[in-house]
Amino acid sequence: MRALEDMKILIVDDSRMFRNLIQTLLNDSGYKNVEWVDCAEGAMKYFGMNSDGESDPKGTDLVLMDVIMKEMDGIEACRRIKSDERLNDIPVVMVTSISEKKSLQKAFEAGAVDYITKPFDQVEVRVRVGSVLRLKREIDERKDRERELAIANKELKRLSSLDGLTGIANRRYFDEHIEAEWRRAMRDSKPLSIMIIDIDFFKPYNDHYGHQGGDSCLKQVACAINDYARRGGDFAARYGGEEFVVTLAGTDRDKAASMAEKLREAVESLRIPHEKSKASSVVTVSIGVSTVNPNTEMLPSTLIELADKGLYRAKEKGRNQVQVF
Protein backbone atom coordinates (compact mmCIF):
# COMPACT_ATOMS: atom_id res chain seq x y z
CA MET A 1 0.00 0.00 0.00
CA ARG A 2 1.41 3.39 -0.97
CA ALA A 3 1.88 5.94 1.80
CA LEU A 4 -0.16 9.11 1.29
CA GLU A 5 3.01 11.15 1.64
CA ASP A 6 4.50 9.42 -1.43
CA MET A 7 1.56 10.19 -3.73
CA LYS A 8 2.21 12.86 -6.36
CA ILE A 9 0.40 16.20 -6.17
CA LEU A 10 0.34 18.77 -8.98
CA ILE A 11 -0.33 22.44 -8.16
CA VAL A 12 -1.76 24.56 -11.00
CA ASP A 13 -1.66 28.25 -10.07
CA ASP A 14 -0.44 31.38 -11.89
CA SER A 15 0.49 33.12 -8.63
CA ARG A 16 4.01 32.36 -7.42
CA MET A 17 3.08 33.47 -3.93
CA PHE A 18 0.14 31.09 -3.64
CA ARG A 19 2.08 28.25 -5.28
CA ASN A 20 4.89 28.65 -2.78
CA LEU A 21 2.48 28.97 0.12
CA ILE A 22 0.45 25.87 -0.64
CA GLN A 23 3.57 23.86 -1.48
CA THR A 24 5.03 24.83 1.89
CA LEU A 25 1.81 23.81 3.64
CA LEU A 26 1.82 20.48 1.83
CA ASN A 27 5.48 19.83 2.63
CA ASP A 28 4.91 20.72 6.28
CA SER A 29 2.00 18.24 6.31
CA GLY A 30 4.33 15.48 5.11
CA TYR A 31 3.64 15.57 1.36
CA LYS A 32 7.04 15.68 -0.35
CA ASN A 33 6.15 14.63 -3.89
CA VAL A 34 4.75 17.98 -5.04
CA GLU A 35 5.16 19.57 -8.47
CA TRP A 36 3.68 22.69 -10.01
CA VAL A 37 2.89 24.48 -13.27
CA ASP A 38 2.06 28.16 -13.58
CA CYS A 39 -0.98 28.05 -15.88
CA ALA A 40 -3.75 25.82 -17.20
CA GLU A 41 -1.95 25.45 -20.54
CA GLY A 42 1.05 24.21 -18.57
CA ALA A 43 -1.15 21.52 -17.04
CA MET A 44 -2.30 20.45 -20.51
CA LYS A 45 1.34 20.12 -21.57
CA TYR A 46 2.29 18.38 -18.33
CA PHE A 47 -0.33 15.71 -18.95
CA GLY A 48 0.64 15.22 -22.56
CA MET A 49 -2.64 16.62 -23.89
CA ASN A 50 -0.80 18.13 -26.85
CA SER A 51 2.11 17.16 -29.07
CA ASP A 52 4.60 18.57 -26.57
CA GLY A 53 3.49 16.34 -23.69
CA GLU A 54 6.21 15.73 -21.13
CA SER A 55 4.77 13.56 -18.37
CA ASP A 56 3.14 10.22 -17.71
CA PRO A 57 -0.39 11.13 -16.55
CA LYS A 58 -0.67 7.97 -14.48
CA GLY A 59 2.04 9.27 -12.15
CA THR A 60 -0.16 12.04 -10.74
CA ASP A 61 -2.54 11.31 -7.88
CA LEU A 62 -4.10 14.73 -7.23
CA VAL A 63 -4.40 18.11 -8.94
CA LEU A 64 -4.87 21.30 -6.94
CA MET A 65 -6.31 23.73 -9.49
CA ASP A 66 -6.71 27.47 -8.98
CA VAL A 67 -10.10 28.70 -10.18
CA ILE A 68 -9.04 32.11 -11.52
CA MET A 69 -6.14 32.09 -13.99
CA LYS A 70 -5.29 34.07 -17.11
CA GLU A 71 -6.20 32.82 -20.59
CA MET A 72 -7.80 29.53 -19.43
CA ASP A 73 -9.48 29.36 -16.03
CA GLY A 74 -9.32 26.37 -13.70
CA ILE A 75 -12.88 25.27 -14.38
CA GLU A 76 -12.23 24.87 -18.11
CA ALA A 77 -8.91 23.15 -17.38
CA CYS A 78 -10.69 20.76 -15.01
CA ARG A 79 -13.31 19.99 -17.65
CA ARG A 80 -10.63 19.18 -20.23
CA ILE A 81 -8.65 16.99 -17.84
CA LYS A 82 -11.74 15.02 -16.79
CA SER A 83 -12.81 14.56 -20.40
CA ASP A 84 -9.49 12.88 -21.26
CA GLU A 85 -9.84 9.12 -20.86
CA ARG A 86 -6.27 8.79 -19.58
CA LEU A 87 -6.82 11.38 -16.88
CA ASN A 88 -10.39 11.09 -15.67
CA ASP A 89 -9.37 9.01 -12.63
CA ILE A 90 -7.14 11.81 -11.30
CA PRO A 91 -9.10 13.84 -8.72
CA VAL A 92 -9.13 17.63 -9.13
CA VAL A 93 -9.51 19.85 -6.06
CA MET A 94 -10.28 23.49 -6.79
CA VAL A 95 -8.43 26.28 -4.99
CA THR A 96 -10.68 29.28 -4.54
CA SER A 97 -11.07 32.41 -2.45
CA ILE A 98 -14.13 32.86 -0.27
CA SER A 99 -15.42 35.47 -2.72
CA GLU A 100 -15.20 32.97 -5.61
CA LYS A 101 -17.30 30.25 -3.96
CA LYS A 102 -20.16 30.94 -6.33
CA SER A 103 -17.98 29.39 -9.07
CA LEU A 104 -17.79 26.07 -7.26
CA GLN A 105 -21.03 24.72 -8.70
CA LYS A 106 -19.57 25.02 -12.20
CA ALA A 107 -16.34 23.46 -10.97
CA PHE A 108 -18.16 20.44 -9.56
CA GLU A 109 -20.12 20.12 -12.79
CA ALA A 110 -16.76 20.12 -14.62
CA GLY A 111 -15.60 17.16 -12.50
CA ALA A 112 -13.92 18.64 -9.42
CA VAL A 113 -14.25 16.52 -6.26
CA ASP A 114 -13.55 19.10 -3.53
CA TYR A 115 -12.20 22.60 -2.87
CA ILE A 116 -9.73 24.45 -0.66
CA THR A 117 -10.29 28.09 0.24
CA LYS A 118 -7.88 31.02 0.29
CA PRO A 119 -6.42 32.22 2.59
CA PHE A 120 -5.03 28.76 3.30
CA ASP A 121 -5.48 26.99 6.58
CA GLN A 122 -2.99 24.19 7.22
CA VAL A 123 -5.55 22.01 8.97
CA GLU A 124 -8.01 22.37 6.09
CA VAL A 125 -5.32 21.66 3.51
CA ARG A 126 -4.10 18.59 5.37
CA VAL A 127 -7.60 17.19 5.98
CA ARG A 128 -9.00 17.79 2.48
CA VAL A 129 -5.88 16.63 0.65
CA GLY A 130 -5.56 13.58 2.89
CA SER A 131 -9.21 12.65 2.39
CA VAL A 132 -9.00 12.85 -1.40
CA LEU A 133 -5.71 10.97 -1.56
CA ARG A 134 -7.05 8.17 0.64
CA LEU A 135 -10.02 7.83 -1.69
CA LYS A 136 -7.71 7.86 -4.72
CA ARG A 137 -5.54 5.15 -3.17
CA GLU A 138 -8.56 2.98 -2.39
CA ILE A 139 -9.85 3.36 -5.96
CA ASP A 140 -6.42 2.52 -7.39
CA GLU A 141 -6.14 -0.57 -5.19
CA ARG A 142 -9.63 -1.73 -6.14
CA LYS A 143 -8.84 -1.28 -9.83
CA ASP A 144 -5.58 -3.17 -9.41
CA ARG A 145 -7.48 -6.05 -7.80
CA GLU A 146 -10.08 -5.99 -10.58
CA ARG A 147 -7.32 -5.95 -13.18
CA GLU A 148 -5.55 -8.88 -11.54
CA LEU A 149 -8.83 -10.77 -11.30
CA ALA A 150 -9.60 -10.10 -14.97
CA ILE A 151 -6.15 -11.38 -15.94
CA ALA A 152 -6.59 -14.47 -13.75
CA ASN A 153 -10.04 -15.16 -15.21
CA LYS A 154 -8.71 -14.76 -18.74
CA GLU A 155 -5.89 -17.17 -18.01
CA LEU A 156 -8.30 -19.62 -16.37
CA LYS A 157 -10.57 -19.47 -19.41
CA ARG A 158 -7.58 -20.01 -21.69
CA LEU A 159 -6.40 -23.01 -19.68
CA SER A 160 -9.91 -24.48 -19.53
CA SER A 161 -10.05 -24.39 -23.32
CA LEU A 162 -6.81 -26.35 -23.77
CA ASP A 163 -6.15 -30.06 -23.78
CA GLY A 164 -4.02 -30.85 -20.76
CA LEU A 165 -1.69 -33.26 -22.57
CA THR A 166 -1.13 -31.76 -26.01
CA GLY A 167 -1.62 -28.06 -25.25
CA ILE A 168 -3.93 -27.46 -28.21
CA ALA A 169 -7.66 -26.69 -28.00
CA ASN A 170 -9.83 -29.30 -26.32
CA ARG A 171 -13.16 -30.84 -27.34
CA ARG A 172 -15.25 -28.37 -25.33
CA TYR A 173 -13.60 -25.40 -27.00
CA PHE A 174 -13.99 -27.05 -30.40
CA ASP A 175 -17.74 -27.45 -29.83
CA GLU A 176 -17.99 -23.70 -29.14
CA HIS A 177 -15.78 -22.87 -32.10
CA ILE A 178 -17.64 -24.95 -34.68
CA GLU A 179 -20.93 -23.29 -33.72
CA ALA A 180 -19.42 -19.83 -34.22
CA GLU A 181 -17.78 -20.82 -37.53
CA TRP A 182 -21.03 -22.31 -38.74
CA ARG A 183 -22.91 -19.07 -38.11
CA ARG A 184 -20.16 -17.05 -39.75
CA ALA A 185 -20.13 -19.26 -42.84
CA MET A 186 -23.92 -18.91 -43.18
CA ARG A 187 -23.69 -15.15 -42.82
CA ASP A 188 -20.89 -14.84 -45.37
CA SER A 189 -22.25 -17.54 -47.72
CA LYS A 190 -18.91 -19.35 -47.72
CA PRO A 191 -18.02 -23.05 -47.51
CA LEU A 192 -16.80 -24.63 -44.31
CA SER A 193 -14.53 -27.67 -44.33
CA ILE A 194 -13.40 -29.99 -41.59
CA MET A 195 -10.81 -32.74 -41.15
CA ILE A 196 -11.08 -35.52 -38.60
CA ILE A 197 -7.65 -37.08 -38.05
CA ASP A 198 -6.96 -40.42 -36.40
CA ILE A 199 -3.54 -41.84 -35.52
CA ASP A 200 -3.30 -45.23 -37.21
CA PHE A 201 -3.09 -48.25 -34.90
CA PHE A 202 -2.57 -46.12 -31.85
CA LYS A 203 -3.69 -48.77 -29.33
CA PRO A 204 -1.00 -51.22 -30.46
CA TYR A 205 1.48 -48.31 -30.33
CA ASN A 206 0.46 -47.50 -26.77
CA ASP A 207 0.61 -51.15 -25.73
CA HIS A 208 4.06 -51.60 -27.25
CA TYR A 209 5.77 -48.34 -26.31
CA GLY A 210 3.93 -47.70 -23.05
CA HIS A 211 1.79 -44.79 -21.93
CA GLN A 212 4.71 -42.39 -21.81
CA GLY A 213 5.59 -43.28 -25.38
CA GLY A 214 1.95 -42.89 -26.34
CA ASP A 215 1.75 -39.48 -24.70
CA SER A 216 4.91 -38.38 -26.50
CA CYS A 217 3.44 -39.55 -29.81
CA LEU A 218 0.21 -37.63 -29.20
CA LYS A 219 2.14 -34.47 -28.37
CA GLN A 220 4.29 -34.68 -31.50
CA VAL A 221 1.33 -35.32 -33.79
CA ALA A 222 -0.68 -32.54 -32.12
CA CYS A 223 2.21 -30.14 -32.60
CA ALA A 224 2.46 -31.03 -36.28
CA ILE A 225 -1.28 -30.53 -36.75
CA ASN A 226 -1.30 -27.24 -34.86
CA ASP A 227 1.71 -25.94 -36.78
CA TYR A 228 -0.02 -26.77 -40.04
CA ALA A 229 -3.27 -24.99 -39.12
CA ARG A 230 -1.74 -21.52 -39.30
CA ARG A 231 -4.06 -19.65 -41.66
CA GLY A 232 -6.46 -17.12 -40.18
CA GLY A 233 -9.51 -19.37 -40.59
CA ASP A 234 -7.85 -22.63 -39.46
CA PHE A 235 -8.46 -24.15 -36.03
CA ALA A 236 -7.02 -27.36 -34.56
CA ALA A 237 -8.23 -29.28 -31.51
CA ARG A 238 -7.91 -32.63 -29.85
CA TYR A 239 -11.22 -34.37 -30.48
CA GLY A 240 -10.67 -37.22 -28.05
CA GLY A 241 -8.22 -40.06 -27.51
CA GLU A 242 -6.01 -40.27 -30.59
CA GLU A 243 -8.40 -38.21 -32.74
CA PHE A 244 -7.89 -34.60 -33.76
CA VAL A 245 -9.99 -32.16 -35.73
CA VAL A 246 -9.18 -29.16 -37.91
CA THR A 247 -11.75 -26.66 -39.20
CA LEU A 248 -11.00 -24.73 -42.39
CA ALA A 249 -13.12 -21.60 -42.77
CA GLY A 250 -13.90 -20.43 -46.29
CA THR A 251 -12.20 -23.48 -47.80
CA ASP A 252 -13.76 -25.51 -50.63
CA ARG A 253 -13.59 -29.30 -50.96
CA ASP A 254 -10.62 -29.52 -53.33
CA LYS A 255 -8.51 -27.15 -51.26
CA ALA A 256 -9.44 -28.97 -48.05
CA ALA A 257 -8.50 -32.33 -49.59
CA SER A 258 -5.15 -30.92 -50.75
CA MET A 259 -4.44 -29.49 -47.30
CA ALA A 260 -5.37 -32.78 -45.64
CA GLU A 261 -2.92 -34.67 -47.86
CA LYS A 262 -0.12 -32.24 -46.97
CA LEU A 263 -0.97 -32.67 -43.30
CA ARG A 264 -0.87 -36.45 -43.65
CA GLU A 265 2.58 -36.13 -45.22
CA ALA A 266 3.73 -33.79 -42.44
CA VAL A 267 2.84 -36.36 -39.76
CA GLU A 268 4.47 -39.17 -41.71
CA SER A 269 7.62 -37.07 -42.11
CA LEU A 270 8.00 -36.97 -38.32
CA ARG A 271 9.35 -40.52 -38.72
CA ILE A 272 8.12 -41.69 -35.33
CA PRO A 273 8.86 -45.45 -35.29
CA HIS A 274 5.80 -47.71 -35.09
CA GLU A 275 6.69 -51.39 -35.13
CA LYS A 276 3.11 -52.51 -34.55
CA SER A 277 1.49 -50.57 -37.41
CA LYS A 278 0.03 -52.46 -40.37
CA ALA A 279 0.11 -49.29 -42.47
CA SER A 280 3.75 -48.20 -42.20
CA SER A 281 6.94 -48.55 -40.18
CA VAL A 282 6.32 -45.05 -38.79
CA VAL A 283 3.37 -43.28 -37.18
CA THR A 284 0.78 -42.23 -39.76
CA VAL A 285 -2.72 -40.76 -39.74
CA SER A 286 -5.95 -41.35 -41.58
CA ILE A 287 -8.01 -38.26 -42.39
CA GLY A 288 -11.68 -37.82 -43.25
CA VAL A 289 -12.65 -34.55 -44.96
CA SER A 290 -16.03 -32.97 -45.58
CA THR A 291 -17.19 -29.62 -46.94
CA VAL A 292 -20.60 -27.99 -46.83
CA ASN A 293 -22.18 -24.63 -47.47
CA PRO A 294 -23.99 -24.13 -44.15
CA ASN A 295 -27.66 -23.19 -44.16
CA THR A 296 -30.53 -23.07 -41.69
CA GLU A 297 -31.69 -26.58 -42.63
CA MET A 298 -28.40 -28.15 -41.54
CA LEU A 299 -26.52 -28.45 -38.28
CA PRO A 300 -22.76 -28.40 -37.56
CA SER A 301 -23.09 -32.03 -36.54
CA THR A 302 -23.84 -32.84 -40.21
CA LEU A 303 -20.38 -31.62 -41.21
CA ILE A 304 -18.77 -33.69 -38.47
CA GLU A 305 -20.74 -36.82 -39.36
CA LEU A 306 -19.69 -36.54 -43.01
CA ALA A 307 -16.01 -36.15 -42.09
CA ASP A 308 -16.34 -39.12 -39.74
CA LYS A 309 -17.66 -41.21 -42.61
CA GLY A 310 -14.69 -40.11 -44.68
CA LEU A 311 -12.39 -41.21 -41.85
CA TYR A 312 -14.14 -44.59 -41.66
CA ARG A 313 -13.66 -45.05 -45.41
CA ALA A 314 -9.94 -44.15 -45.10
CA LYS A 315 -9.54 -46.85 -42.45
CA GLU A 316 -11.43 -49.39 -44.57
CA LYS A 317 -9.12 -48.72 -47.52
CA GLY A 318 -5.95 -49.42 -45.55
CA ARG A 319 -5.33 -46.20 -43.52
CA ASN A 320 -2.54 -43.64 -43.96
CA GLN A 321 -4.67 -41.78 -46.49
CA VAL A 322 -7.23 -39.01 -47.01
CA GLN A 323 -10.85 -39.66 -47.97
CA VAL A 324 -13.36 -36.94 -48.82
CA PHE A 325 -16.99 -37.76 -48.09
Give the mean pLDDT of 137-141: 91
Q: What pLDDT score does 51 carry?
A: 55
Asked if pLDDT for residue 297 goes beyond 70, the answer is yes
Strand 114-118 versus strand 62-66 pairing type: unpaired
H helix intervals, the chain: 16-28, 40-46, 74-83, 104-110, 122-160, 171-188, 202-228, 253-268, 300-316
CA distance 42 to 50: 10
- Which of 1-10, 29-38, 141-150 shows the lowest per-residue confidence on average (mean pLDDT)? 1-10
Helix (H) or strand (E) holding 192: strand 192-199
Across 189-195, average pLDDT: 96
Q: What is the pLDDT of residue 97?
A: 82
Residue 100 confidence (pLDDT) above 70: no
pLDDT of residue 229: 83
Q: Which candidate, 220, 218, 317, 319, places its Cα nearest to that of 278? A: 319
Q: Grade residue 85 by pLDDT with cuts at 50, 70 and 90.
A: confident
Specify whether domain 171-324 bears CATH 3.30.70.270: yes
The pLDDT value recorded for residue 136 is 92
Q: CATH homologous superfamily for 4-153?
A: Response regulator (3.40.50.2300)
Residues marked active site are found at: 242
DSSP output for 172-191: HHHHHHHHHHHHHHHHHT--
Sequence spans of domains, the chain:
4-153, 171-324
pLDDT for the residue 212: 95
Determine the pLDDT at residue 105: 87
Give the residue with greater pLDDT, 208 vs 120.
Answer: 208
Question: What integer pLDDT is reported at residue 56 of this predicted model?
Answer: 57
Residues 226-232, mean pLDDT to the nearest whole number? 84
Residue 119, preceding peptide bond in cis (omega within 30° of 0): yes
- 297 in Cβ contact with 280 (< 8 Å): no
Which stretches within 161-299 are classed as H helix? 171-188, 202-228, 253-268
> Which of 98 and 63 is assigned the larger pLDDT?
63
Of 72-76, 107-111, 158-162, 318-322, the range with the highest mean pLDDT is: 318-322
**Which has the higher per-residue pLDDT, 71 or 272?**
272
What is the mean predicted confidence (pLDDT) over 305-316? Answer: 97
**pLDDT at residue 53, rounded to an integer:** 45
pLDDT at 225 (0 to 100): 95
Cβ–Cβ under 8 Å, residues 319 and 202: no
Has residue 237 got a pLDDT over 90?
A: yes
**What was the pLDDT predicted at 154?**
87
Q: For the segment 33-62, what is each residue's pLDDT rounded down to a tens digit?
A: 999 999 999 999 999 886 554 445 658 999
